[in-house]
């Protein structure tokens, strides 16, 4: 009887959370799946709910299907593609021969994701082929590329900063505080500032180039330049928490390991590869996966800084869902894009839970 009474009061205490969870998360999430099977013009349905037309999987077919699409290997025979593949492969071979990859699932996943991002560029339609919605596949590729570079730039840079500032002293406290403060900036303010910095005319970068006698470079209307700006803005904005996580992991490594290694004559690089990196391997995996999951949802930066341009080069999956739902009023197709994004993120969440459970 006492257990039943305790359970009753336990449910009473969590009831407010359950009400909020069902009302603002579970129900909207279920509604999203429901809407994705309809031709749902948001204005027409608002006037009359009977205007919602059931179309089954047609929204998904329109996004995913195409004809004559194949893997074009010729796109990889460019200097930058060959150089990128060579650097990746040489790095993988070096880390493997040094047994640095052993028991470091975080680094293994880095190379897996890097090769995936690299080879996804080969999925191309033939001359007479088409996607039913080619912008959707562009947005998938754009998001994957920007997600990879922003997530792992943050991961590696945060690790470097954490190692550099993992010392006592007021100066290190100030430095850590400065990096921590970047996370408190709103995405709208961040995007406006970045737009002003990289503006072709009157921006800080253009004024800097003019000072040294160079012409303005239209970085925001250049395909790779606009992607760089969004990645740069994202890294600056989101690096604070990973630094703190790596600092916490570094401080859990016993100092005795380093002292023993010094006595044995180990160099600083050897201590990093064989003490520091294995000691933070779980945190490296956690930070990288959290960043990947988070940056698949890039929206504000792309919407405000570039608007998805130029030529859809920075159109992300979330921005496309927003445009479908609120620009074109096609809520059904916007919901379908969101559901596909849900399964993509779910894949990375599954990897996170799977790997951490196996490590435990």
Write down the pLDDT at residue 152. 96
Task: Determine the Cα–Cα distance for residues 12 and 295; give it in Å rounded to an integer.
Answer: 37
pLDDT band at residue 159 under the 50/70/90 scheme? very high
Q: Could you tell me if residue 125 is inside a domain?
A: no
pLDDT single digits (tens) 20-42: 988 888 899 899 999 999 999 98
Q: Could you tell me if residue 279 is inside a domain?
A: yes
Cβ atoms 225, 219 nearer than 8 A: yes
Residues 154, 6 within the same domain: no
Write down the pLDDT at residue 66. 78
- CA distances (Å), 308 to each of 59, 301, 351, in order? 22, 9, 29
Cα dihedral: 89, 95, 97, 101 (round 10): -120
Q: Could you tell me if residue 200 is inside a domain?
A: yes
Q: Could you tell me if residue 85 is inside a domain?
A: no
Report the CATH number that the domain containing residue 160 is assigned in CATH: 1.10.3720.10
Task: Determine the Cα–Cα distance for residues 100 and 47; give it in Å rounded to an integer.
Answer: 62
Inform me whether the pLDDT recorded for 360 exceeds 70: no
Write down the pLDDT at residue 358. 59
Q: Could you tell me if residue 23 is inside a domain?
A: yes
Radius of gyration of the chain (CA): 24
Global pTM reads 0.90
Residue 272's contacts (CB-CB under 8 Å, 6 or more residues apart) are 163
Residues 30, 47 within the same domain: no
Residues 23, 156 within the same domain: no
pLDDT single digits (tens) 316-348: 999 999 999 999 899 999 999 999 999 999 999
Residues 144, 20 within the same domain: no
Residues 193, 329 within the same domain: yes
Residues 60, 26 within the same domain: no
Smallest CA-to-CA distance from 288 within 119, 112, 143 is with 112
Locate tokens 């990859």: which residue? 101
| Summary mean pLDDT of the chain | 88
Task: Determine the Cα–Cα distance for residues 214 and 177; give it in Å rounded to an integer.
Answer: 36
Residues 216, 239 within the same domain: yes
Cβ-count burial of 222 within 10 angstroms (0-12 exposed, 13-18 middle, 19+ buried)?
middle
Tokens representing 207 are: 């004024």
Secondary structure (DSSP) of 168-215 = -SHHHHHHHHHHHHGGGS-HHHHHHHHHHHS-TTTSHHHHHHHHTTPP
Write down the pLDDT at residue 243. 93
Q: Could you tell me if residue 165 is inside a domain?
A: yes
Residues 142, 17 within the same domain: no
Residues 24, 56 within the same domain: no
Residues 60, 16 within the same domain: no
Is the torsion defined by CA of 82, 83, 86, 92 positive or negative? negative
Residues 27, 137 within the same domain: no
Write down the pLDDT at residue 74. 84
pLDDT single digits (tens) 169-180: 888 888 888 888
Write down the pLDDT at residue 359. 58
The boundaries of the domain holding residue 6 are: 1-34
- CA distances (Å), 186 to each of 129, 151, 298, in order? 42, 19, 14
Residues 286, 323 within the same domain: yes
pLDDT single digits (tens) 92-127: 999 999 888 877 888 999 999 999 999 988 887 766
pLDDT band at residue 57 under the 50/70/90 scheme? very high
Residue 288: CA count within 13 A, CB half-sphere: 26
Conformational region of residue 45, where left means phi above 0, alpha means psi within -120 to 50, and beta covers everything else: alpha
For the chain, the domain total comes to 2
Q: Could you tell me if residue 56 is inside a domain?
A: yes
Q: Could you tell me if residue 264 is inside a domain?
A: yes
């Amino acid at each position: 009887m006492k257990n039943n009474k305790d359970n009753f009061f336990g449910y009473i205490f969590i009831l407010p959370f359950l009400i909020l969870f069902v009302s603002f998360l579970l129900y909207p999430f279920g509604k999203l799946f429901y809407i994705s099977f309809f031709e749902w013009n948001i204005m027409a349905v608002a006037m009359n709910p009977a205007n919602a037309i059931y179309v089954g999987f047609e929204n998904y077919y329109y996004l995913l299907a195409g004809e004559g699409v194949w893997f074009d290997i010729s796109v990889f025979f460019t200097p930058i593609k060959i150089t990128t593949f060579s650097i990746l492969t040489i790095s993988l071979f070096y880390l493997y021969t040094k047994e640095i990859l052993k028991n470091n699932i975080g680094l293994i996943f880095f190379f897996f994701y890097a090769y995936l991002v690299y080879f996804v560029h080969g999925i191309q339609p033939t001359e007479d082929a088409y996607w039913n919605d080619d912008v959707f596949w562009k947005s998938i590729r754009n998001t994957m590329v920007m997600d990879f570079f922003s997530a792992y730039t943050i991961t590696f840079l945060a690790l470097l900063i954490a190692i550099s500032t993992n010392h006592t002293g007021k100066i290190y406290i100030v430095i850590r505080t400065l990096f921590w403060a970047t996370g408190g900036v709103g995405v709208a303010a961040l995007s406006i500032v970045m737009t002003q910095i990289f503006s072709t005319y009157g921006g800080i970068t253009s004024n800097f180039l003019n000072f040294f006698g160079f012409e303005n470079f239209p970085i925001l209307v250049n395909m790779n330049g606009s992607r760089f700006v969004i990645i740069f803005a994202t890294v600056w904005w989101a690096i604070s928490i990973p630094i703190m996580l790596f600092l916490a992991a570094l401080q859990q490594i016993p100092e005795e390991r380093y002292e023993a290694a010094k006595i044995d004559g180990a160099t600083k690089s050897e201590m990093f590869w064989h003490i520091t990196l294995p000691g933070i391997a779980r945190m490296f995996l956690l930070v990288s996966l959290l960043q990947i999951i988070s940056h698949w949802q890039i929206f504000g930066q792309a919407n405000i800084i570039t608007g998805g341009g130029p030529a859809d080069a920075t159109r992300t999956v979330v921005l496309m869902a927003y445009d479908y739902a609120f620009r074109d009023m096609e809520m059904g197709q916007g919901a379908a894009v969101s559901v596909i994004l849900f399964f993509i993120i779910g894949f990375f969440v599954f990897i996170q839970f799977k790997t951490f459970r196996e490590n435990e």
